Amino acid sequence: MNAFGRNFRVSIVGESHGPAVGVILDGVPAGLTLALEDFLVDIERRKGGTQKGTTPRKEDDLPIFQTGHFNGKATGAPLTILFENKNTRSGDYEKQRAVPRPGHADFVAHQKFGGFEDFRGGGHFSGRLTVGLVAAGVVAKKLLNANSLNADIKVKSTILEIGGEADLEKGLQKAIDAKDSIGGIVECRVEGLPIGLGEPFFDSIESLLAHAVFAIPAVRGIEFGTGFAAARMFGVEHNDAIENSTGKTTTNHAGGIVGGISNGNELVFRIAIKPTSSTPKEQTTLNWESGEKEIFSVKGRHDLCIALRVPVVLEAVTAMVLADLMMQAGQISRVLP
């Protein structure tokens, strides 16, 4: 299944080189204003801007409200947002079918789907599908701020490092110099969350966020608050002392979550993004028809550093999860004024 959520449910559909990609959002409150303009900034952010290292493939990427949208607002019925795939060059991929691209899902997709998968440009596995997630995120971020608590909730992701460098230009230059792709680390912070979202155990905020976050291609790890460093700390160092009756803590090693539940402090987590699988460098792979090893080199258009595009996608899946939890808690109404 390619769907997630209980009361706000997101389904992702489409293929890189099919007619369209998109999302179906079920449970969107009626009355939420949704104009095309609301989507443009985040869709642009996903393209990685004019920074070095992003792919030259360009799509207009204008959201098409196919269902659930009327007079500029959500109707309360399932909201379908599609993005046409206009600028595809399938010829890049078809000849190479028996030669799985290293690091890509080509081989497992072929095994899992028996060769019936749409293999063009990664098909349903393509990072292209994250444009749908971004659209879901635009809706979810708007919902978060239509909460009935009047809480000012801000979801913000930033790149912390590229190739180990906090100076991002330097990190990218490393990749350019090496004629190779490179990974990075992205952080997400959420301010203004109420206390009490999440449940102990299976519906912990960490469980739900991690579930959604690992839907983003290329993510290899997630850590909350102090994260892996906590494994080397003493208890007294790590525990956050409560300062006052609002639950504010002096430190925030817990990243805003205890017992699986938001504690009213800033939510903080980081994710690791692997280097783009498609790299300009030559690699060895197996031709499964001939059984021979082959030298593989990327012809298509690709990013040197996929992490550059991740922040807006990370905000999107984060907002999705939090909007669902706030709806479950009755903090976002089913009809907005």
Residues 278-297 that bind its own copies (CB under 8 A): 278-279, 281, 283-286, 288, 291
30 binds its own copies (CB under 8 A): yes
Q: Collect all residues with Cβ–Cβ distance below 8 Å to 182 and sequence separation of at least 6.
A: 162, 163, 171, 172, 174, 175, 275, 276, 304, 305
Collapsing DSSP to helix, strand or coil, 42 comes out as helix
Site for its own copies in 71-130 (CB under 8 A): 71, 73-78, 80, 82, 100, 102-105, 107-109, 111-114, 116-118, 123-125, 129
277 binds its own copies (CB under 8 A): yes
CA distances, 308 to each of 182, 185, 251 (Å) = 10, 10, 29
Three-point CA angle 37, 130, 49, nearest 5° = 60
Three-point CA angle 133, 138, 143, nearest 5° = 120
User: Least Å distance between CB 253 and its own copies?
Assistant: 8
Radius of gyration, alpha carbons of the chain:
21
Between 30 and 40, CB nearer to its own copies: 30
Residues that contact its own copies, how many (by CB under 8 A): 147
Query: Residue 138 and residue 69: Cα distance in Å, rounded?
Result: 15
Using the rule CB under 8 A, give the single segment among 46-54, 88-96, 136-144, 214-222 that binds its own copies: 214-222
From 273, 314, 316, 325, residue interacting with its own copies (rule: CB under 8 A) = 273
User: Least Å distance between CB 8 and its own copies?
Assistant: 10
259 binds its own copies (CB under 8 A): yes
Neighbours of 283 (CB within 10 A): 15
From 140, 226, 311, 315, residue interacting with its own copies (rule: CB under 8 A) = 226
User: Least Å distance between CB 49 and its own copies?
Assistant: 20
From 176, 214, 252, 300, residue interacting with its own copies (rule: CB under 8 A) = 214
Collapsing DSSP to helix, strand or coil, 72 comes out as coil
Torsion of CA 174, 177, 180, 183, to 10 degrees: 10
Between 10 and 188, CB nearer to its own copies: 10
Between 27 and 42, CB nearer to its own copies: 27
Site for its own copies in 131-160 (CB under 8 A): none
Query: Residue 337 and residue 323: Cα distance in Å, rounded?
Result: 17
Q: 308-327 mask for its own copies (x: CB under 8 A)?
A: --------------------
Classify residue 335 as exposed, middle or buried by CB count within 10 Å of its CB (0-12, 13-18, 19+): exposed
User: Least Å distance between CB 152 and its own copies?
Assistant: 19
Tokens coding 131 = 């444009």
